[in-house]
Structure 1
Amino acid sequence: MTRREKFFLVLIVILMAVVGALSLQKFPSPEDSETTAAAPAEAAQYTCGMHPFVIQDEPGTCPICGMNLTPLKSVGGAAKTAQAGGERKIKYWVAPMDPTYIRDEPGKSPMGMDLVPVYEDEAPGGSVIRIDPVTQQNMGVRTAEAVRRDLKRTVRTVGLVGYEEPRQFSINAKIGGWIETLHVNETGQFIKKGQPLLSIYSPELVAAQEEYLLALNNKSRLEKSPFPEIAEGAERLLESSRKRLNYWDISNRQIERLRKTGEVKKSMTLYAPYDGIVTLKMANEGQRIQAGMELFRISDISNVWIYADIYEYELPWVKVGQEARVELPYGGEPIRGKIDQIYPYLEAKTRTVKARIVLDNPEYTLKPDMYVNVLIDAQTVKDVLAIPSEAVMDTGESSTVFVALGDGKFEPRQIRTGLRGEKGYIQVEEGLLPGEWVVTSAQFMLDSESQLREAISKMMEPKQPAPAAHEGHEGESLDDLFGEEAGGKGDEKLDDLFR
């Protein structure tokens, strides 16, 4: 076939398509004219309850299961009836780009767009469904009203008793030597400030005592010197030797005894500088110790910290300063305290945030590392729109409720939820108006019905006519369409068209 023959063949095909389209538009068939004149506004159709894709124009039985076909209710029938009966009533106004942003009067959306009216006989997307009263009763449909109320919550969680960090102390050796006597030799032992811990022998301590006695004798001899500078020097030397003993944790009482007796002791006693319990003991009698070695760790548990685990969804309810009640695992009266700190990071393993509660523990009832129950009385949220939490269908990406419109009609609507309170109520931030009724049971069946009606409605929509073959190319030649001058590939594209 030559190029000219291909050109005329394409031209004939295009002309036949145009003539056919014009004849269909201008000359309807007699059957179509009679049907248009005689048929009602909307023809009845029938479907199978078990196989909704089976749709027929007349009653009968399902060819698959043999059940009697039931009339198919048109989704848009209610809207058409309302339009024919008179003026339609606006139910609310909704943002075009955010279906959860609704208002009871016209205005602007957060994006600056005009709100769109939604009428009582329709819903966005045409997804209103109608269920007869008998079916509603069989499904167990119950509703509840969206009202403004106060939401409160008591956060119940688990806490771990810990030490008060500022009251943990480490006792180190500041001089090398040997432990001759260990006065505190048990972990968990209660000690008081000033109680003897151990007796240490150290050659440096012995030399320091002798230096102190020499400085004391030197001061006694030179204090009556006619030269004030010499007396002051002797005084400074005595004070320096005394501070040296103090820096090694030798008590003033031992230094005073040394001054009175003038006798150098082989071993000196180290005393506890804090109250608490021994949580770590690294010293043993007869052990050689070096400067800087940790000997004991002492913790004061007259005050303790409770670390309460707060889950992420409960964080909006917990604030610093709130009252908390701590219940002991073996019963008894709860101990009351306040939240002192909410840590600014999340525990990776438990996915919780630690809330710290400070408690007095004078009788040592709370033991470190003990598990307790913590109840935090969260602050009440005043005057918020709330509905029962069972009315919300949460898919992870959106939250949906079914709004009861009356006369057996239900509208699926997206909402944005907030805090979850006690007694099964959840805050609605956007998507509902006060006084509207939502379905609290059987909404999953309503959701299935809504999606089924929407799918059937899309199946029944008339298809849009395909655009004419020559649309958008008016005034162009076939050479322009197939690009004869673009590398000489026009013949190849004609071949691809008829291949």
Structure 2
Amino acid sequence: MKKIFLSLILIAITLNSNPIDAKQLFNIEKVKVKKESFKESKEFYGITKLNESKTIDIVSRFDGYITHLNANKNYMNIKKGESLYTIYSSDIASIKAEIEIAKDLNKNLYDKANSKLENFDIKNAKFLNNEVVISSPISGIITQKNVNNKSYIEKGKTLFQISSLEDIWFIASIYQEDLSFIKANMNSIIKLDGVEEPIVAKVDFIYPVFNEEKKT
């Protein structure tokens, strides 16, 4: 009976140089690990997994109504600075009115009103009249969407989860007799279904974990 162990490999993917559709990351792929000293290589199949440390939540800091939803589906590619949604908030509209009134009359009141926008983390946001355009702070994919167009949202609600694709995990299944072949920092080549160019990576971690479901 063969025992299957798992080897965890970190893959660095830069969207600018390797434009990959998000859905391609969740197919079955294979990795070729090459041992330079003997010019020997072996192939293992595995799956990709997003790096949780590069995942962020988009949480609303104020109540309001979504007037336009740009990030309207899961696994949508999004770029840093690209609009996620546009929102109308009576609280923000009131603060904007305070700023307009105070800017030529009272510097202290003007600064105080601007500090309110800072507390809402929208001081540098784009404003369309009394609506605010909320942009993505990172490039990546929408892995969770909890809002629809024209929805009313409350302060503290998590609207999106966005995961960066700068690096992802590749989890390869390796038989026990091949485990001695795998070494940390070994060169490897990741081949994704539907992606022409292979991705060069290195073995980052090796975890000897027995997999009951895949034993043969």
TM-score by structure 1 length? 0.32
Match of 1:216 among 89, 93, 103: 103
Aligned to 1:189: 76
Q: CA deviation at 1:162?
A: 2.1
Match of 1:276 among 119, 137, 140: 140
Distance 1:270 1:334 in 2: 35
Distance 2:70 2:55 in 1: 20
Q: Does 1:247 align with 2:134?
A: no
| Structure ranking higher on relative contact order (CA contacts 8 Å, 6+ apart) | 2
Distance 2:150 2:84 in 1: 14
Distance 1:268 1:243 in 2: 16
Aligned to 2:22: none
Q: Does 1:339 align with 2:203?
A: yes
Q: Does 1:304 align with 2:168?
A: yes
Aligned to 1:382: none
AA paired with 1:173? S
Give per-residue Cα distances to partners, 1:87-140, cap 9 Å, x unaligned: xxxxxxxxxxxxxxxxxxxxxxxxxxxxxxxxxxxxxxxxxxxxxxxxxxxxxx
Distance 1:158 1:325 in 2: 12
Match of 1:156 among 34, 43, 50: 43
Match of 2:86 among 199, 203, 218: 199
- 1:340-419 aligned within 5 A: 340-343=204-207, 346=209, 348-350=211-213
Pairs aligned (count): 179
AA paired with 2:106? K
Secondary structure of the corresponding residue to residue 103 of structure 2 = helix
Cα RMSD (Å) of the superposition? 3.3
Aligned to 1:238: 110
Preserved CA contact (<8 Å) 1:312 1:351: no
Structure 2 unmatched runs, 5+: 1-36
180-189 or 168-177: which moved more? 180-189
Preserved CA contact (<8 Å) 1:311 1:351: no
Match of 1:318 among 175, 182, 190: 182
Give per-residue Cα distances to partners, 1:259-309, cap 9 Å, x unaligned: xxxxxx432221222212223222112211112212122223354321112
Preserved CA contact (<8 Å) 2:49 2:170: yes
Distance 2:195 2:153 in 1: 46
Secondary structure of the corresponding residue to residue 116 of structure 2 = helix
Distance 2:74 2:90 in 1: 29
Give per-residue Cα distances to partners, 1:447-484, cap 9 Å, x unaligned: xxxxxxxxxxxxxxxxxxxxxxxxxxxxxxxxxxxxxx
Q: 1:330 to 1:242 in 2, by over 3 A?
A: closer
Q: Which has the larger radius of gyration?
A: 1
Distance 1:291 1:347 in 2: 44
Higher strand share: 2
Give per-residue Cα distances to partners, 1:10-33, cap 9 Å, x unaligned: xxxxxxxxxxxxxxxxxxxxxxxx
Distance 2:78 2:190 in 1: 28
Q: 1:282 to 1:333 in 2, by over 3 A?
A: closer
Higher helix share: 1
Q: 1:324 to 1:182 in 2, by over 3 A?
A: same
Aligned to 2:27: none
Preserved CA contact (<8 Å) 1:320 1:340: yes
Identity of aligned residues (%): 27
Match of 2:63 among 176, 179, 184: 176
Distance 1:196 1:330 in 2: 28
Aligned to 2:31: none
Secondary structure of the corresponding residue to residue 213 of structure 1 = helix
TM-score by structure 2 length? 0.66
Secondary structure of the corresponding residue to residue 155 of structure 2 = coil
